[in-house]
Amino acid sequence: MKLIFEKSVPGRHSSILPACDVPEVDLGVKREEPLNLPELCENDVSRHYTQLCQRVHGVNCGFYPLGSCTMKYNPRIDEEMAALPGFTNVHPLAPKASVKGSEAVLELAAKYLCEIAGMDGMTFQPAAGAHGEFTGVLLIKQYHDARGDKARTKIIVPDSAHGTNPATAAMCGYDVVNVASAPNGCVDLEALKAVLGPDTAGLMLTNPNTVGIFDENILEITRLVHEAGGLCYYDGANLNAVMGHVRPGDMGFDCIHMNLHKTFATPHGGGGPGAGAVGCKEFLKGFLPKSVLMEGEGSIQVRGFAGNFLVVVRALTYLMTLGKEGIPEASTNAVLNANYLMQKIKGTFTPAFDRVCMHEFVLDLSEFKKETGVSALDVAKSLIDHGMHPPTMYFPLIVHEALMLEPTETESKETLDEAAEIFRALYAQAYSDPDYMHAAPHHAQIGRPDEVKAARNPIVRWTEA
């Protein structure tokens, strides 16, 4: 398929503007060379983008069980609300008195999300989950600094944490202390006790963790960290598993981020705008970033204004549409769907942890690969030929040949049954025709790109030949 620049024909355009009927004014600032924009008629533009969108797999095309990403179907009403001109046309520097509606959206969304998380204050500035973690750990840092406690230089991160957790702690200037998981997939309490001390600034816990397990010792974990003088950070990116049932604040956590672009209705996957809403307990509220519409008092600012505001509009619409009954129902169904699919697949592929999971589960294909030579990557690529988006691969790192599936609550029983059948068929095919799977996908636009080159040497910008 050609790039839009390659389709450009000089002089071709779609005139929609009337001729200028006021005197032209020279502003005194002008490009030395005209901007090189593609020239096409409306028809060409429309076809170009339609063809592009037909080449990608989205939640609107089919099943998308990409673990840890919560690729659920986002109701259209959330988009409609975020597209209201009163929200899209508001200027970030508009006088406060003129944007009372936007202010009310932020306040109400913060109120509901604080209620769900068990927190007292919130900022919407962070643009993503990792950015939210960064903000949250800076709250912890400011807290210790304000008390003159300079000895706390370490953040504890269990090995089942999301990869962004240790990266965040390091970005904030902390030494990262890794704690191993026990064989049941939960934090090893003895290993935790061994690393706690007067140098502990805090602990970052991903819960449910990256193997889809709710840590059964969570109250003991937060108690131990507090006893040592540290604070507890909850990675709530995957709140889809617990919202409406348990509150991180009640489990002893002091701050949290929630990915509004996973759990709360903003579509994601192409790196579009997100929001890592950060909630905290009363005693940390004073450290929250300042913004025009939300009254933080802290000295940090992690993004301009109130963050990605329209993402918050979608989240509020989602919360208000589901209501107090619908929110726990959504997480109940997310957990039910994951367990259902795990049980249906279990006769063939092996779960890494054979126990009740939360919103996602991990398959361990290491034995299967030894027997058939077919890798997790081969299975993932083969799924594409069946119209399904591959699960997350080779993550978490503590499971070898991992495939991590998160079906989400928005999939029907029929979709899950069909997915289980596809897995069964591929399992059988691995024994009968492994070579076919090594070469998959056979029916996709792109087969197997050089992923290392794509990651190390990405060409993301068109340059004129």
Ligand X SMILES: *Cc1c(COP(=O)(O)O)cnc(C)c1O
Residues at the site binding ligand X, with contacts judged by CB under 6 A: 68, 128-130, 162, 164, 206, 235, 237-238, 259, 274, 276
Nearer to ligand X, 256 or 437 (CB): 256
Closest CB 198 distance from ligand X, rounded Å: 28
Closest CB 289 distance from ligand X, rounded Å: 17
Closest CB 264 distance from ligand X, rounded Å: 12
Closest CB 440 distance from ligand X, rounded Å: 27
165 vs 203: CA distance, rounded Å: 10
355 vs 59: CA distance, rounded Å: 28
Closest CB 68 distance from ligand X, rounded Å: 4
Contact predicate 204/165, CB 8 Å: yes
The 3-state DSSP composition of the chain as helix, strand, coil percent (nearest 5) reads 40, 10, 50
Residues with Cβ < 8 Å from 121, sequence gap 6 or more?
110, 114, 279, 280, 281, 282, 284, 285, 288, 296
Nearest residue relative to ligand X (C-beta): 129
206 vs 195: CA distance, rounded Å: 18
Give the relative orientation of helices 413-432 and 309-345 as an angle to the nearest 10 degrees: 60
Nearer to ligand X, 128 or 137 (CB): 128
Nearer to ligand X, 238 or 372 (CB): 238
DSSP run (H or E) holding 104:
helix 100-117
Closest CB 199 distance from ligand X, rounded Å: 25
Residue 110 to residues 103, 118, 283, Cα–Cα distance (Å): 11, 11, 17
For residue 193, what are its two tokens? 């006790």
Residues with Cβ < 8 Å from 13, sequence gap 6 or more?
39, 40, 41
3-class secondary-structure state, position 448: coil
Closest CB 162 distance from ligand X, rounded Å: 3
Closest CB 360 distance from ligand X, rounded Å: 9
Closest CB 174 distance from ligand X, rounded Å: 17
Nearer to ligand X, 81 or 130 (CB): 130
For residue 67, what are its two tokens? 């673990």
76 vs 4: CA distance, rounded Å: 29
Contact predicate 298/367, CB 8 Å: no
Closest CB 133 distance from ligand X, rounded Å: 7
Give the relative orientation of helices 376-385 and 413-432 as an angle to the nearest 10 degrees: 120
Nearer to ligand X, 62 or 273 (CB): 273
Closest CB 232 distance from ligand X, rounded Å: 15
Nearer to ligand X, 160 or 410 (CB): 160
Pair type for strands 231-236 and 255-259:
parallel
Nearer to ligand X, 212 or 289 (CB): 212
Nearer to ligand X, 255 or 374 (CB): 255
Nearer to ligand X, 280 or 437 (CB): 280
Nearer to ligand X, 396 or 441 (CB): 396
For residue 288, what are its two tokens? 């929250």
How many CA atoms does the CB half-sphere of 214 hold within 13 Å?
17
Contact predicate 165/206, CB 8 Å: yes
The vertex-330 CA angle with 84 and 266, nearest 5°, equals 35
DSSP 286: G
**Residue 369, amino acid:** K
Give the relative orientation of helices 129-146 and 164-171 as an angle to the nearest 10 degrees: 40
Nearer to ligand X, 309 or 368 (CB): 309
